[in-house]
Amino acid sequence: MLQRILLSTGAVVVAAALLVLIPLGLARDPELCVDDPRTFPKAGVAGWSGEQLENAATIVRTASALGLGHDGQVLGVMTAMGESSLRNIDYGDWETTGFTNPDGSRTTSIGLFQQQEWWGSVEERMDPATAATKFYERLVRLPDWQRMEPSHAIHRVQINTDRDYYARFEADATAVVDALSGTCTAGRA
């Protein structure tokens, strides 16, 4: 009798949880993963949606494939938020505000991470997974990057003028990574 009551109570709790979580977009089909845009929240996450979430998912997948866990995934997404608003743009962000490189040359920054020529070919910098890989290859070469302030670690990779610039994106990046990671992303640490 007690066993039937417990089973019945458990079923009610599960049903109630699903009734709350499904409309909120928080319950996920375990067969769907960060790779599948059908799992992206329709309303977006922290103001980021559509193409932006697809690009964030590519960054998360790339980090995971390289053996980087949650913290590394967040740093990559923070970087692309700060550099391109998670849009794979084929022009330099400096060009739109009239800036040139510190050496006086025109900027060649492109892609999600606004990587310049020395990062690789145009094709490499415009491919989100390759651009993310290039970012992560430099990040993991930084001694103790995991113990640095996230924005400071990114600054050391991106070599921009303000080491605290990326801090404003940390909460959004964490929310996006958490939303995209769901129940099926391996390697989360």
Question: Tell me, what's the pLDDT at 59?
Answer: 98
Please count the structural domains in the chain.
1
Question: Tell me, what's the pLDDT at 116?
Answer: 86
Q: Are 169 and 78 in contact (CB under 8 A)?
A: yes
In one-letter notation, the amino acid at residue 58 is T
Rounded Cα gap, residues 145 and 139, in angstroms: 7
List, for residues 89-133, the tens digit of each pLDDT value.
887 755 545 555 556 666 678 899 999 888 999 899 999 999 999
Report the pLDDT averaged over residues 74-92. 93
What is the three-class DSSP state of 183?
coil
What is the three-class DSSP state of 45?
strand
Residue 12 forms part of a structural domain: no
- The upper half-sphere exposure of residue 108, i.e. CA atoms within 13 Å in the direction of its Cβ, equals 11
Question: Tell me, what's the pLDDT at 36?
Answer: 62
List, for residues 17-38, the tens digit of each pLDDT value.
333 333 333 333 333 355 565 6
Residue 19 forms part of a structural domain: no
- Give the pLDDT band (50/70/90) at residue 143: very high
Give the residue among 136, 95, 87, 97 at the shortest CA–CA distance from 116.
95
Question: Tell me, what's the pLDDT at 168?
Answer: 98
List, for residues 52-72, the tens digit of each pLDDT value.
999 999 999 999 999 999 999
Q: Are 25 and 178 in contact (CB under 8 A)?
A: no
Residue 11 forms part of a structural domain: no
Burial of 35 (0-12, 13-18, 19+ CB in 10 A): middle
Question: Tell me, what's the pLDDT at 161?
Answer: 84
Which contiguous run of DSSP H or E holds residue 76?
Answer: helix 70-84
DSSP 173: H
- Give the pLDDT band (50/70/90) at residue 14: very low
Residue 115 forms part of a structural domain: yes
Residue 131 forms part of a structural domain: yes
Q: Where are the beta strands (DSSP E) in the chain?
A: none
Residue 46 forms part of a structural domain: yes
Conformational region of residue 25, where left means phi above 0, alpha means psi within -120 to 50, and beta covers everything else? left
- pTM score of the predicted model: 0.73
Residue 15 forms part of a structural domain: no
Q: Which domain holds residue 61?
A: 31-181
DSSP 107: P
Rounded Cα gap, residues 17 and 9, in angstroms: 12
Residue 13 forms part of a structural domain: no
Report the pLDDT averaged over residues 157-171. 94
In one-letter notation, the amino acid at residue 137 is E
